[in-house]
Amino acid sequence: METPVPADVIPRRLVPPALTEADLPAAVAELGRRDPALASIAARFGTPPLWARDPGFPTLVHLILEQQVSLASAKAAFDRLKAATGTLTPDTFLALDDAALLAVGFSRQKARYGRALATAVGSGDLDLDALPMTDDEDVDRRLTALPGIGPWTATIYRLMVLCRPDAWPAHDIALAQALAEVRGLERRPSPAELDAAADAWRPLRAVAARLLWHHYLSVRAERRAERAPAAGA
């Protein structure tokens, strides 16, 4: 697989403060011009979704649930949590005891993380409404000050909620696996290697992340579709 061409300055018009669906085609085309691996993803699967999420407390709780489990498992637990609370707010979350949270699907550790988050948001110590006006470093600093919110969770919040164009979750396993597949690597790159590989995609690394996730999910959907007839035969 060819490697990226040396990066020159990406035109400012292609780097908005916050990405929208309308921004993605031009940004994908620019990255494809620079990197054949990313171009191959777009040629095969098209422009990736924005995968935007709503800002606020519920999304951060959902991200905590997604840590180290499948997306499907986290969504099932999150749906049960919403059913248990009616409207998910810091107050309704804190009203659930350990047994209720365990029944929903929280581990004891994640229950502790959720309570710390709910307490910080409810008290105003963490002002989520202020994050869109805050630079990337300060967003990370404010979020990772809480237990259970590490670099991955903070970066995903910047990428999917604030839609920052250069957010790059270097610890994301799916990104590492996708890069290994499109580059023909023998193993998944480490977070440091993934960071180094992404340097050529600045300041649109969040678009590159979406392309790699698009590859990861689309390839696995194709494999499931191929297995389905045999399973039903």
Q: How many CB atoms lie within 10 A of CB 158?
A: 24
User: Residue 191's pLDDT band (boundaries 50, 70, 90)?
Assistant: very high
Ordered alpha helix ranges (H), 172-204: 173-183, 191-198
Q: CATH says 57-161 is which class?
A: mainly alpha
**Could you give the CA distance from residue 232 to residue 216 in angstroms, rounded to a whole number?**
25
Note the pLDDT of residue 85.
Answer: 96
pLDDT at 233 over 60: no
What is the reported pLDDT for 1?
44
Residue 18 DSSP label: S
* Domain locations in the chain as residue ranges: 12-51+167-232, 57-161
Task: Round to whole Å and give the CA distance between 5 and 26.
Answer: 18
User: Domain 12-51+167-232 belongs to what topology?
Assistant: Endonuclease Iii, domain 2 (1.10.1670)
What radius of gyration do the chain's Cα atoms show? 19
CB 49 within 8 A of CB 210: yes
What mean pLDDT is predicted for residues 198-202? 94
Mean pLDDT of all residues belonging to the chain = 92
Closest CA to 140 of 122, 178, 166: 166
pLDDT (tens digit per residue) in 85-123 = 999 999 999 999 999 999 999 999 999 999 999 999 999
Alpha carbon distance, N-terminus to C-terminus of the chain: 37
Q: How confident is the model at residue 13 (pLDDT cuts 50, 70, 90)?
A: low
Lowest average pLDDT, out of 15-19, 35-39, 154-158, goes to: 15-19
The whole-angstrom separation of Cα 124 and Cα 212 is 36
Whole-number Å distance between alpha carbons of 30 and 38: 10
Q: Is the dihedral of CA 151, 90, 61, 105 positive or negative?
A: positive
Asked whether the beta carbons of 93 and 85 are under 8 A apart, the reply is: yes
- Cβ count within 10 A of residue 211: 30
- Is residue 6 predicted with pLDDT exceeding 70? no
Distant-in-sequence, close-in-space partners of 221: CB < 8 Å, separation ≥ 6:
none
Helix (H, G, I), strand (E, B) or coil at 66: helix
How do residues 160-186 score in pLDDT, each as one tens digit?
A: 999 999 999 999 999 999 999 999 999
